[in-house]
Amino acid sequence: MKQCYTPLTVVTALCFVSACQGTPLTTLPSNQYESAAKNCQVMYAPASIVGYTINQIVDQPNSKPLTGFATQGAIALRYDGAQKMSGFGVGDVAHQLIEGQYAYHRVDATTAIEQAVDFEKGAYITYYHFQSEQAGTFEQTYSSGAVLKGRFTMLANNDGAPLAPESLSGLNVALTIDSAKSLSPDGYPTSGLVVQTYAQDGQYAAKGIGQGNIDSIGRYQYQRISANTAVETAMQTSDFFTLPYTMVYTFTSADSGLWYQNFANGTIIFEGRFKTFK
């Protein structure tokens, strides 16, 4: 939600149109423009998270986990009106059921703080940095010293039918690689396309298109954890290796969205867009 504050009606109107979007207001004197821009806020952080689910994807290379903390997959956290939270994670053997208490505070238009106690892992503080009304990045620091960083999405629990399918069986998923980061100096794709076909018996086959993308097969498991988020884990076998990966799908429509893959326990991090089809 965009909110602009100024005593001048004409400036308010222009602020909604231009100043909030960073477009110079050439029709206003410089002093009026500066006043309008300073009073214009993009109110992305909500005043409350009661009735919402927050999906967290941990970015393993940028985190400082301790033993017992999951660094792959995704976590779905639900918040109720009695300052209670609950959730679970998928994609790492260290994921545990989450139950605890929380307090949430909006700091400014794009920042919020959650102070919480997880009955299993202890107290922590999470800073949410909103880049839109439904997504952004987070940094979570536990009293034990563990630090988890990554990205998040949030959605109201009553937003309607889930976008993420219950199963990938019978579907093809076209994965466009937009970026890749690796601990290895070379030998991995940084662009191109991989089309993966999922069978009902838990097997999948992948066709790589573009430089460095290879064909592979494997066994997979898929689980929807919230209305827009699902996690796939697999053991990928090619002519060159047999290694695991964990992939998180964030659906922005019923057949498309964003994907994030942790390959070989953090050796390569792939990100991009996906499209499903039959």
Q: What is the CATH number of the domain that holds 68?
A: 2.40.128
Question: For residue 215, is it within any domain?
Answer: yes
Contact between 71 and 63 (Cβ < 8 Å) = yes
Count of domains observed in the chain = 3
Q: Which residue carries 């690689």 as its tokens? A: 177
Q: Which residue carries 């592979």 as its tokens? A: 216
Q: Which residues pair with 263 in a beta bridge?
A: 245, 268
167 pLDDT exceeds 90?
Answer: yes
The percent of residues in the chain predicted with pLDDT above 70, rounded, is: 85
Query: What pLDDT digit, counting tens, does each position of 29-50 carry?
Result: 434 433 444 456 689 999 999 9
Q: Which residues contact 146 (CB under 8 A, 6 or more apart)?
A: 64, 65, 66, 69, 121
25 pLDDT exceeds 50?
Answer: no
Answer with the residue of higher pLDDT: 159 or 148: 148
- Which of 35-39, 157-161, 207-211, 250-254 has the weakest average pLDDT? 35-39
Are 140 and 56 members of one domain? Answer: yes
Question: For residue 167, is it within any domain?
Answer: no
Contact between 243 and 263 (Cβ < 8 Å) = yes
Alpha-carbon Rg for the chain, nearest whole angstrom, is 21
Answer with the residue of higher pLDDT: 120 or 234: 234
Question: For residue 94, is it within any domain?
Answer: yes
227 pLDDT exceeds 70?
Answer: yes
Query: What pLDDT digit, counting tens, does each position of 42-72 carry?
Result: 899 999 999 999 999 999 888 998 999 999 9
Q: Report helix, strand and coil shares of the chain as percent, to nearest 5.
A: 10, 50, 40
Angle at 251 between CA 249 and CA 257, to 5 degrees: 85
Are 190 and 235 members of one domain? Answer: yes
Question: For residue 32, is it within any domain?
Answer: yes
200 pLDDT exceeds 70?
Answer: yes
* Buried-state track 134-166, b at ≥16 Cβ within 10 A, e below 16: bbbbbebbbeeebbbbbbbbbbeeeeeebbbbe
Return the amino acid letter for 137: T
DSSP class of residue 19 equals G
- Closest to 59 measured CA to CA, from 152, 150, 190: 150
The percent of residues in the chain predicted with pLDDT above 90, rounded, is: 78
Question: For residue 214, is it within any domain?
Answer: yes
Where in the sequence is the domain holding 228, given as residue range(s)?
172-277
